[in-house]
Amino acid sequence: MPRIVMKFGGTSMAGIERIRVVASRVKREAEAGNEVLVVVSAMAGETDRLVQLCKEASALADPKEYDVVVASGEQVTAGLLAMTLQNMGVTARSFMGWQLMRASGAHGNARVEAVESALLGQALAGGTVAVIPGFQGVSEDGRVATLGRGGSDTSAVAIAAGVKADRCDIYTDVDGVYTTDPRIVPKARKLTKITFEEMLELAGVGAKVLNVRSVGLAMRENMPLRVLTAFDDLPGTEIVAALDFGLGDNDMERNAIAGIAADRNEARITLTGIADKPGTVAAVMGPLAEAGIQVDMIVHAATAGEGASDLNFTVPRASLSQAVSAIEKSGAAAGGSILTDDKVAKVSIVGVGIRSNPELAAKMFATLAERNINLLAVSASEIKVSVLLAEDEMELAVRVLHSAFGLDAREGADA
C-alpha cells in the first residue's frame, strides 16, 4: 500500500473544530488504502505562550527544562488528534517524539540523527494511523530535545525518510508555493512544481512556506514534498528533484526565474578604518561564529594607499546587538568604527536558469536602477542573486522585478 506522511501546522490544529477537519482528511486517506503517518504542530500561538512562561520562570532558563516545556504543545495536539480519529472509527494512536527520533546538538536547536522506524512499522502493519508530535526527539543523554522553530516540517521529512514513505504532504494555511508573497504582488502565481534547489534557496532568503532545514533534508533523501492547504481540496505545489521535473534548465517553456523572495529580517554592520592585512576578516567572523550568529552578504574593500579597509556584512536583525557586543569584546574592530543599520531588507531572485544565463543578474540590476533603487550589497549563488536595499524600497523592488521577469499571472495561464 502507498505510505504517506501528512504534516499539519499550527493553524490547522487551532482548536477542536479544526482538528476534526484534519481528522476527516486523514480518515479519507486511510480509507483510500494508504498507510498514514501524521506529524502535528502545536496549536497556533501555543509555542509562543510556552516560551513566554519559560522567560517568566527564569530569564536564563536551563535549555533542557526549556525543551521539556515547549515540547508539550505538540504532545497535546497529537493526543487530541488520535482521540478524534478514534471517535470517527479510525484505528489510531499517538506516539511521543522520544520514542521515535534521536537528536543531537544544542537543546532548543537540535538536529535529527536517526528515526526508530520499527515501532512505526508495527503500527502501520496493523492498520493503525500513527500520530506523531513534531519539533522534538530525544537527546544523547535521554532528555527531550526540540529542533528549533519550524522544526515540525523537519520532523515530518525525517519520519518520511525513515519509514521510506512514498511522499510527504505539508499542509499549511496557504495553498502552495507562489512566485512571491501575494500580499506584496496580488498577481503572484502559484507554482505547480518547483525543484528542491529552488525551494531551498527561496526558504533560505525569506520565503516562509517551508522550514529551510526540512527542504535540505528532503533534497538529500530525495523525498518528494507537496505543499497544500488544510482548509480546501485544492491542488498544491510539488517539490521534486530537478531530474524529475520534466523540463530541462534551458527549456523555453519554463521561466528561468522560479520566484522572488524578500526578507525584512536583516541588519547591516559596517566596520570602517580597520586593518588591511591577512586575518582581519577572520578576526571579525570568528567571534560571531562562536556566538552562533549567521552572517551574510559580506563585502570587504581596502582603502587605496591608507593601509585600512572597510568591512560590510549582514546579520539577522534580532542578533544585531549581540553581534556588535561580540565584535567589541573581541577587539577585532580596534582602530576603526562600528556602524549599524537595521532599516534594510534583502530581495532575491531564485531559479535554476540563473546558472546558465548570466544576463539575468544584469537584468535585475538594470530593473532596480530604472526605479532609482540603490543597492547596498550584492551576493550570489549558482541559482540565486540577492541584493540589500533600504527597507522602505523592498516592496517596490519585489513588484518591479516580478513584472520584469514575466512572473505576473496572466488570464488563463498556468504556473
Q: pLDDT at residue 19 above 70?
A: yes
**What confidence tens digit (pLDDT) does each residue in 250-307 have?**
443 356 899 999 999 899 999 998 888 888 889 999 999 988 888 999 988 887 667 7
Residue % of the chain over a pLDDT of 70 = 95
Which pLDDT band, with edges at 50, 70 and 90, does 245 fall under?
low
Given pLDDT bands bounded at 50, 70 and 90, which one contains residue 16? very high
Does residue 413 carry a pLDDT above 70? Answer: no
- Edge-to-edge strands of the sheet including 92-94? 92-94, 129-133, 35-40, 3-8, 167-172, 225-229, 237-240, 193-195
Predicted local confidence at residue 415, as pLDDT: 47
Q: What's the sign of the alpha-carbon dihedral 6, 7, 11, 15?
A: positive
Mean pLDDT, rounded, for 96-116? 89
Range from 88-97, 211-220, 364-373, 402-411 carrying the lowest mean pLDDT: 402-411
Rounded Cα distance between 90 and 25, Å, is 12
- Identify the CA nearest to 86 among candidates 142, 139, 151, 30: 30
Residues above pLDDT 90, as percent of the chain:
62
Contacts 24+ apart (CB under 8 A), 293-300: 293/319, 293/322, 293/323, 293/326, 294/319, 296/266, 296/346, 296/379, 296/386, 297/346, 297/377, 297/378, 297/379, 297/386, 297/388, 298/379, 299/377
pLDDT at 414 over 70: no
Q: In what order do the strands lie in the sheet with 259-275?
A: 296-303, 308-315, 259-275, 337-350, 384-390, 377-381
The pLDDT score that the predictor gives to residue 254 is 53
Contact 144, 138 (CB under 8 A): yes
| Residue range 77-92: mean pLDDT, rounded | 97
Does the pLDDT of residue 314 top 90, yes or no?
A: yes
**Which grid cell is 331?**
577587539
Q: How sure is the predictor about 249, in pLDDT bands with cuts at 50, 70 and 90?
A: very low
* Dist CA 345 CA 368 (whole Å): 14
pLDDT at residue 305 in the model: 62
The confidence band for 370, taking pLDDT boundaries of 50, 70 and 90, is very high
Taking the C-alpha atoms of residue 314 and residue 297, their distance in angstroms, rounded to an integer, is 6
User: Among positive and negative, which fits the CA dihedral 19, 21, 22, 23?
Assistant: positive
Buried b (16+ CB within 10 A) or exposed e, 368-394: beeeebeebbebeeebbbbbbbebebb
Question: What pLDDT, on a 0 to 100 scale, did the predictor assign at position 154?
Answer: 93
| Average pLDDT for 377-396 | 93
Which pLDDT value is given to residue 115?
Answer: 92
- Over residues 16-38, mean pLDDT: 95
pLDDT tens digits, 168-204: 999 988 889 999 998 899 999 999 999 999 998 888 7
Question: Is the per-residue pLDDT at 247 higher than 70?
Answer: no
Whole-number Å distance between alpha carbons of 123 and 336? 63
| Of 5-19, 204-218, 280-294, 319-333, highest mean pLDDT | 5-19
Q: Would the pTM count as exceeding 0.75?
A: yes
Rounded to whole angstroms, how far apart are CA atoms 12 and 70? 19
Give the Cα separation of 168 and 298 in Å (integer). 36
**Mean pLDDT over each residue of the chain, to the nearest integer:** 89
Q: Report the distance separating Cα 121 and Cα 125, nearest Å.
A: 6
